[in-house]
Amino acid sequence: MKNLRCDAVIIGGGAAGMAAALELDAAGFSCAIIEREDHLGGILMQCIHNGFGLHEFSEELTGPEFAERFIERVAQSKIAVYLNTTVTGFNAAPSGSAAEQSACKELFCVSPAGALQIQSRAVILAMGCRERNRGNVRIPGARPAGVYTAGFAQRLVNIEGCIPGREVVIIGSGDIGLIMARRMTWVGCKVKAVVEIMPYPAGLTRNIVQCLRDFDIPLYLSSMTTSIFGNDRVEGVEVTPMENGVVIPEKRFRIDCDTVLLSVGLVPENELSKAAGVELNGATNGPLVDSNLMTNIDGVFASGNVLHVHDLVDWVAEESRRAGRYAAEWLQGRRPEPQIRVKTGSNVRYVNPVRINPRRENQVYLRSLVVKNDAVLELRLDKRLIRSVKHRHVQPSEMINLKITPADFGGLNAGFDSCLEFSIN
């Protein structure tokens, strides 16, 4: 087994991992990126549509173009990159004295060159997320060929040059599914419908407009896919409308198709995190982190889609740069200051991070539980209103980001037992 040692290891070589590693490298720390694919860039490399980089680079880029900006910077740095390398074990607290444990993390990897053990003082989790599949949503019916996740279909079309079918129904209105509705249309397929169980779309408004309305693709809201038909190959799906959350069997109808794409949500990739003892957030399935993006394990940080699923890769890069800076501060010996708890109030699904430092600027991300026009986001410190922010429109598919500064607390004493609550009215 080959043994290596560095200041920090970043697990994942997508936008999150590269952004974090570049910050550590700029601060003078040795670091390594572990990536299981044969290239850096992650999922961006199959996202050939534009719409990336408007916040990060002030120009519109495709996914590969966005990734290439970071890949070029990594190539010019001192960052060690291990491709085709899979982390099989993560020991966040090796045996030894307390001082040794806090200063050392162990990663066990498998690479083309054989087994690899890496010791580091800090670890940044940047593994991204994975798609939910048919088993996760329990769609009844037969088990024919022709059922794919939207992301896998995207890889087939954009990377492998293979068209998975000709007549397509997309289940779920997540952004990848919406983008694939347009992509499949462009390659000559007929997208017959997008079926969404919720009464509102799960994807960004711009994707509803550009990927569905511009191509006259029907979107069925409040509709459940109640069966998939076919023996050897998909032959159609049964769709049943819902009213007030209850299916109406007498209104069900069939859509003939030969391919079904699933766009039913993303889940942070956290099997490795759980095995290492990282505490997870039940609302996001990502790690619980403080204002420094550090988990419950000292020296272990998380950012990007492994923490919570972002709308834009620009936000992933921004958050991950901060993770890299905070990891650098930790390596320099700076430890987190006392922080106050954050909790969700009415109509808020989750808030990240779950603790903030009232003595410095904090970047907070949250999602609404409701679709609402003229909404007001309220922040209450120990039930006392300290700030309200108006939003013309909020919906679960669009993340809200907010900066919180010491000025927001207006001199109020935020003690260790204080709690900052976020609610939408």
User: pLDDT for 392-421, tens place per residue?
Assistant: 999 998 999 999 999 998 766 666 688 999
Assess whether 171 and 249 both reside in one domain: yes
- Average pLDDT along the chain: 93
- Name the band, by pLDDT with cuts 50, 70 and 90, for residue 215: very high
Domain finish residue from 276, 301, 331: 331
Domain finish residue from 246, 264, 282: 264
Assess whether 146 and 205 both reside in one domain: yes
Q: What is the pLDDT of residues 269-297, one digit of tens each?
A: 999 999 999 999 999 999 999 999 999 99
Whether 101 shows a pLDDT value over 50: the answer reads no
**Confidence at residue 58, expressed as pLDDT on a 0 to 100 scale:** 94
Query: What percentage of the chain has pLDDT greater than the value 90?
Result: 84
Assess whether 138 and 287 both reside in one domain: no
Assess whether 54 and 124 both reside in one domain: yes
Whether 95 shows a pLDDT value over 60: the answer reads no
- Name the band, by pLDDT with cuts 50, 70 and 90, for residue 94: low
Greater model confidence, 223 or 137: 223
Assess whether 240 and 319 both reside in one domain: no
Assess whether 271 and 347 both reside in one domain: no
**Confidence at residue 416, expressed as pLDDT on a 0 to 100 scale:** 67
Q: Which domain covers residue 160, as residue numbers?
A: 133-264
Whether 245 shows a pLDDT value over 90: the answer reads no
Q: What is the pLDDT of residues 301-347, one digit of tens each?
A: 999 999 999 989 999 999 999 999 999 999 999 888 889 999 999 99
Q: What is the CATH number of the domain that holds 222?
A: 3.50.50.60
Number of domains, the chain: 3
Assess whether 27 and 87 both reside in one domain: yes
Assess whether 260 and 282 both reside in one domain: no
Q: What is the mean pLDDT of residues 368-395?
A: 94
**Confidence at residue 414, expressed as pLDDT on a 0 to 100 scale:** 64
- Determine contact, residues 342/59, Cβ cutoff 8 Å: no
Assess whether 62 and 122 both reside in one domain: yes
Q: What is the pLDDT of residues 102-146, one digit of tens each?
A: 558 999 999 998 999 999 999 999 999 999 988 888 898 889 999
Assess whether 238 and 319 both reside in one domain: no
Domain finish residue from 264, 294, 315: 264
**Confidence at residue 226, expressed as pLDDT on a 0 to 100 scale:** 94
Cα-based distances in Å from 142 to 94, 175, 232, 264, 407:
48, 26, 9, 19, 59
Assess whether 29 and 92 both reside in one domain: yes
pTM of the entire predicted model = 0.92
Whether 99 shows a pLDDT value over 50: the answer reads no
Whether 361 shows a pLDDT value over 50: the answer reads yes
Assess whether 257 and 302 both reside in one domain: no
Closest by CA position to 83, among listed 54, 31, 40, 30: 40
